[in-house]
Amino acid sequence: MVIRRRLRLQTAPYGDTPVRPMRSVAIAVIQTLAWLTAASGYIAASARAAEPSTDVVRTPRPEEVMADLSTRLFASLEKESAKTRHNSDKILPLVDGLLSPHFDMEYAARMVLGGHWRSATPEQRQQFGIVLYQRLLRTYAGAVAEWTPDRFKLLPLRADPEALQVTVHTLVTNSRNEIVPVDFRLRQTAEGWKIFDVTVDGVSYVRIYRDDTDEEITQKGLDASITRLAKSPIVERTQPNPPGRH
């Protein structure tokens, strides 16, 4: 009798009470496996998202920055009439729009101020950098407006690939058919390579204004120098000759 009863329990029809526990266990196992599959997929996706990207955006080299800048400059100038090119009030915004993103005003100001930088307030540093940059624009915008692709030659860069500062050499042929070396000094920043000095025919923009302002700042203070640079007239150059050289 005991053996027969066990057989009946094992062969009970689908839906009878003795089978239900097994079915519940099977469903639970399937649900658990499904959850584990989903969870493992989520964890793997999260791990992939947490991994640092191996895609590195290459920073343009300094010579590439200058090549791109000159290409865009010539493309913009070609759209302007000769009359506009000779109008500094109209050409300045064009040159400024192209140059300012690639010019390190703060570092240029720091180089010009030298030891005076440490005693200057943040506001003075900013103001000095702005007036210095504006003078650079007004001094050379006329000359730059005369440049054409056939009169501008970008020389190959010869510098240590690991260098943090480099000089990009160019040759500019002026309207008198004189070849004038124009060099751009650039430094590597968090935003890429930026210009901080321009040397025309061996005369540095940074050095000129350092000599021009050093004694004045010592005697009268930085504010006096800022005021003078902002208000004093600027001799615009229609040729790429530095101030003081004719």
- In this predicted structure, the answer to whether residue 63 has a pLDDT above a threshold of 70 is yes
Q: What are phi and psi of 176, to 5 degrees?
A: -95, 10
188 vs 20 pLDDT, higher one = 188
Separation of first and last alpha carbons in the chain = 127
- Give the pTM: 0.72
Confidence label for 9 from pLDDT (cuts 50, 70 and 90): very low
Q: Which of the four pLDDT bands, split at 50, 70 and 90, describes residue 233?
A: confident
Q: What is the DSSP letter of 103?
A: B
pLDDT digits (tens, 9 = 90+) for 147-163: 889 999 999 999 998 99
Instruction: Say if residue 19's pLDDT is above 50.
Output: no
Q: What are the pLDDT digits (tens) for 102-132? A: 999 999 999 999 999 999 999 999 999 999 9
Burial 70-108 (b: 16+ CB within 10 A, else e): beebeeebeeeeeeebeebeebbebbeebbeebbbbbbb
Calculate the alpha carbon distances from 212 to 11, 168, 206, 207, 244 in Å.
108, 25, 10, 8, 11
CATH fold, domain 62-231, is: Nuclear Transport Factor 2; Chain: A, (3.10.450)
For residue 203, the SS3 value is strand
Every domain of the chain and the residues it spans: 2-50, 62-231
